[in-house]
Structure 1
Amino acid sequence: MDITPLRTAVSGSVLAAGEQGWDGARASHAGVGRPEVIVRVSSVDDVSEAVRFAAASRRVAVVRAGGHSAWCTLDDGILIDLTALDAVEVVEDPDGGALVRVGGGARWGDVADTLAEQGLGISSGDTRSVGVGGLTLGGGIGWMVRAWGLAADQLVGAQVVTAEGELVEVSESSHAELLWALRGGGGNFGVVTRFDFRAHDLPAVVSATLGVSGDARPILGVLRDVLATAPRELTVTYMDVPAMDPSAPAGASIVACWIGDDEQALRSALAPLLALDAVTEVDLSVRAYPEILLDAPMPDPEQPLPGFIGGNTLVVDLDDELIDGLAAFREGTPASVLFLRSLGGAFGEVAQDATPFPARGATWFAMAGAFDIPGMVDDARRAELQAAWADLEARGAGVYGNFTTTTDPAFAARMYPPETMARLVALKAQWDPRNLFSRNHNVVPA
């Protein structure tokens, strides 16, 4: 493949295998990719040129922003690295309030920092290095999900480079159906070079960390009951992890985020939990929102991440039977993790057909999985775990694509209800009939 025309057309850098900087450029949070060419764009025009080159050379276009997606680690393709398109600009919303325009290569930590300076926030990811693009296009469950909904629910416009290399502006009044698809339909429809979000007032948050010991079942039952009637300012997670490194000691914890600076309001909401002997208050304090986002260092490329046997499910009714199944899954394998995030509130008030995101009736997001470490999990145990998780997933109403490491092309069929998938397929046929953008939970054009 002759990449000379691409080098001539692009103002950013174009790297081929073996060239200086190649190994660093192909490494990401998800691992080390093996593309044919890496285009580190410096402008929107560069994105258009890279897309046109991929189409003309009959290669797949691989889009990378934050680099947490396992799709970036597969072989071949033209990798379009959006890192340089990271501008964050706050402007006046014509309908009142503020809009934040975010470049397609920006990461949530930088967005949160910029917004915090003006007392603003948007519902975002939990980790600073996660890309705005991937998280938003997949939906985006974050700390403000019960107050403001998904990241995608706050998306009011976008700038998109299509599979033809053309630049289009998308909003409710221009290509509204494409905007619908971008609110949870993944990266199937083009390269989003700018996201326009409606921002919210956010002077501070109250964050609480609670230590948990003993049997998870009664604690999760109380947590469920608390969130059933809690104000939407409150979102919580429950996490139980094995000892992975000194910064993540083994054990279970509950982390709560309250929008605003009212410590007493959060303490009151958590009172039934704090009354339990098995729950201890580790910290409860007012913080700036960026302070509660996690840092995730780049993994060692020489130490690939272990496989993950399990998955996630969007739960309408977190009943005692399901709690027992989730707890038993975690207890059955020492090297496993259990994670729950509360939903409901604003998330549940969005009509099911208003976005592609599934299961708006869900009140909890649940994830469980065992780490597939050589020597610790044999074929028989792997099959047992897969069957156990399948039973748990079947209790839910859908799955969340952003929280899976699978690159199975068939996975998208598990993400969307049939009527939603049909609508996405029709849009895919309109905007990307050759399936140039297939390195994602792929919607195959009709």
Structure 2
Amino acid sequence: MQIDELVSALPDRVLARGDQGWEAARHFHSGTGDPDAIVRVDSVADVVAAVRWAADQHVPILVRGGGHSAWGTVPGGLTLDLSALDGVDLDGSTVRVGGGATWGHVAEVLSGHSLGLSSGDTASVGVGGLTLGGGIGWMVRAWGLAADQLVGAQLVAASGEVVEVTDAAHPELMWALRGGGGNFGVITRFDFRAHPLPAVVFATLTLAGDSRPLLRTVREVMRDAPRELTVTFMDVPAMDPNAPAGATLTAVWAGDDEDAARAALAPLLRAEGVADAAIETTSYPDILLDMPAADPEVPMPGFVGGNTLLHELSDEAIDRLVSFRESNAASVLLLRSLGGAYGDVAPADSAFPGRDATWFAMAGAFDIPGLVDDESRPRIQAAWDAIEALGSGVYGNFTTSTDPVFASKMYPAGTVARLASVKRAWDPSNVFSRNHNVLPA
């Protein structure tokens, strides 16, 4: 691959193997990459020049924002590091966010204006990857997905054209950006509709004993709960000092009405299995997690399991999920309530699947020698497959799969066909393939 032309077009922006700073540049939050070149862009014009070069050279592009995606580990190609494009600007209730910004930075800026967006749970997660993949966050029941709050975007297409995307100007492309992933170009700016958010009420319930009765209670409470309330159940092993082992139920109320939050939580606070509870009113940035970056010397183990969108948290689903956790010492179980604003969006109005789902579920065993082997791995996978069979659709942001055909598992066939048509219009040569890739129709 000849990069002289790229270096000439973007002096001091391009790094290749052997260059000073290469080693540091190829490390990202979730791992270590081995691309052919890295461009650390500083402007939209830089993005245009890099995209045009990659398209001419038939080089696949990986777009890096927060760096939490597993796609950064796929060798070769051109990595576009957007981290310098991290501006956050307000115009009334519209917030314009640079394509390289992280959600922690956005939350801090908006908090100063008593505003908020439903984002991911982790401060260092990039705005771009999370939004394009949908974005199930703490305010998902109050305001929907991160993608549901998207009202416009600036996109650099495979042709190098800079496109202002809105529902009025490019409705099919706008539809695809709400959950269709990074298939269609480089987003250099996201425009969101922000919401009033003076503070949040955050509750942590420590759980003991069999989780099944508690989860049945949670299910019944959330069926009629105010949409300001979103809850997450987690059961994790003793592996990470930053995540204490055991089961917890955390809850966020979108707003500062602690009395209303306590009233909504009351049935859970007195439920069987709740050993302790802590409730506080705090700022939204303060509840975002601070996940440590990957250590190149200690690679993360594999993960046998997956995630799914459940129409109903049935007794069968609860039993299969809890049994999965009980049967695998080094495993994790996560459930997040959906419904509310998430379900207000008609299936045809965004690319994100499973709008009738009321719960998101994820479970998996860490593939650690001594705990998982060739004999047990098929059993664990079969247990997960039985859980997945109860759901409909996969949340791409919560998978580490880099399988190029994974998109067909994420979306219904009709959605894939519609995405493929949009892909053909904006990226017919599939320059943007380092993602859950949809092939041009």
Same fold (TM > 0.5)? yes
- Of 121, 124, 134, which residue of structure 2 is paired with 1:129? 124
Aligned positions of 1:218-297 closer than 5 A: 218-297=213-292
One-letter amino acid of the counterpart of residue 3, structure 2: I
One-letter amino acid of the counterpart of residue 282, structure 1: A
In structure 1, the partner of 2:51 is: 51
One-letter amino acid of the counterpart of residue 422, structure 1: A
Q: Does 1:412 align with 2:387?
A: no
One-letter amino acid of the counterpart of residue 214, structure 1: G
CA-to-aligned-CA distance 1:231-287 (integer Å, 9 cap, x gap): 000000000000122221210101100011122222221112211342033320100
Question: By how many angstroms is 1:156 displaced?
Answer: 0.5
How far apart, CA to CA, are the structure 2 residues paired with 1:345 and 1:112?
Answer: 22
One-letter amino acid of the counterpart of residue 328, structure 1: S
Question: By how many angstroms is 1:298 displaced?
Answer: 1.1
Q: Extract unaligned runs of 5+ from structure 2.
A: none
In structure 2, the partner of 1:19 is: 19
Find the residue that maps to 1:376 and give its secondary structure.
coil
One-letter amino acid of the counterpart of residue 310, structure 2: V
Q: How many residues align?
A: 441
One-letter amino acid of the counterpart of residue 183, structure 2: N
Determine if contact 1:12/1:46 at 8 Å carries over to the other structure: no
Aligned positions of 1:2-151 closer than 5 A: 2-10=2-10, 13-92=13-92, 98-151=93-146
The 1:152/1:441 distance shift into structure 2, 3 A limit, reads same
One-letter amino acid of the counterpart of residue 248, structure 2: S
How far apart, CA to CA, are the structure 2 residues paired with 1:183 and 1:213?
Answer: 39
CA-to-aligned-CA distance 1:1-43 (integer Å, 9 cap, x gap): 3322212212552110122111111111221011000000000
In structure 2, the partner of 1:95 is: none
Find the residue that maps to 1:270 and give its secondary structure.
helix
Q: Does 1:320 align with 2:319?
A: no
How far apart, CA to CA, are the structure 1 residues paired with 2:202 and 2:437?
Answer: 37
One-letter amino acid of the counterpart of residue 237, structure 2: P
Find the residue that maps to 1:8 and give its secondary structure.
helix
How far apart, CA to CA, are the structure 1 residues paired with 2:229 and 2:183?
Answer: 33
Determine if contact 1:313/1:397 at 8 Å carries over to the other structure: yes
How far apart, CA to CA, are the structure 2 residues paired with 1:286 and 1:79?
Answer: 41
Question: By how many angstroms is 1:418 displaced?
Answer: 1.1
Find the residue that maps to 1:313 and give its secondary structure.
strand
Find the residue that maps to 1:257 and give its secondary structure.
strand
How far apart, CA to CA, are the structure 2 residues paired with 1:423 and 1:88?
Answer: 32
One-letter amino acid of the counterpart of residue 335, structure 2: L
CA-to-aligned-CA distance 1:148-192 (integer Å, 9 cap, x gap): 000000100000000011111001121111011000000000000
Question: By how many angstroms is 1:57 displaced?
Answer: 1.6
One-letter amino acid of the counterpart of residue 83, structure 1: S
Determine if contact 1:188/1:438 at 8 Å carries over to the other structure: yes
Find the residue that maps to 2:14 and give its secondary structure.
strand
How far apart, CA to CA, are the structure 2 residues paired with 1:438 and 1:360?
Answer: 26
Determine if contact 2:39/2:80 at 8 Å carries over to the other structure: yes
Find the residue that maps to 2:104 and give its secondary structure.
helix
Q: Does 1:298 align with 2:307?
A: no
One-letter amino acid of the counterpart of residue 365, structure 1: F
CA RMSD of aligned residues (A): 1.0
Aligned positions of 1:370-381 closer than 5 A: 370-381=365-376
In structure 2, the partner of 1:192 is: 187
Structure 1's consecutive aligned runs of 4 or more residues displaced over 2 angstroms after TM superposition are: none
- Of 307, 311, 332, which residue of structure 1 is paired with 2:306? 311
Determine if contact 1:11/1:46 at 8 Å carries over to the other structure: no
Determine if contact 1:310/1:385 at 8 Å carries over to the other structure: yes
Q: Extract unaligned runs of 5+ from structure 1.
A: 93-97
How far apart, CA to CA, are the structure 2 residues paired with 1:12 and 1:265?
Answer: 55
Determine if contact 1:274/1:280 at 8 Å carries over to the other structure: no
Find the residue that maps to 2:67 and give its secondary structure.
coil
How far apart, CA to CA, are the structure 2 residues paired with 1:355 and 1:250?
Answer: 37
Find the residue that maps to 1:380 and give its secondary structure.
coil
TM-score, normalised with respect to structure 2: 0.99
In structure 2, the partner of 1:204 is: 199
Find the residue that maps to 2:406 and give its secondary structure.
helix
Aligned positions of 1:327-366 closer than 5 A: 327-366=322-361
Determine if contact 1:11/1:41 at 8 Å carries over to the other structure: no
CA-to-aligned-CA distance 1:395-417 (integer Å, 9 cap, x gap): 00111111000001111001111
CA-to-aligned-CA distance 1:71-110 (integer Å, 9 cap, x gap): 1111000000000000000113xxxxx1000000000000
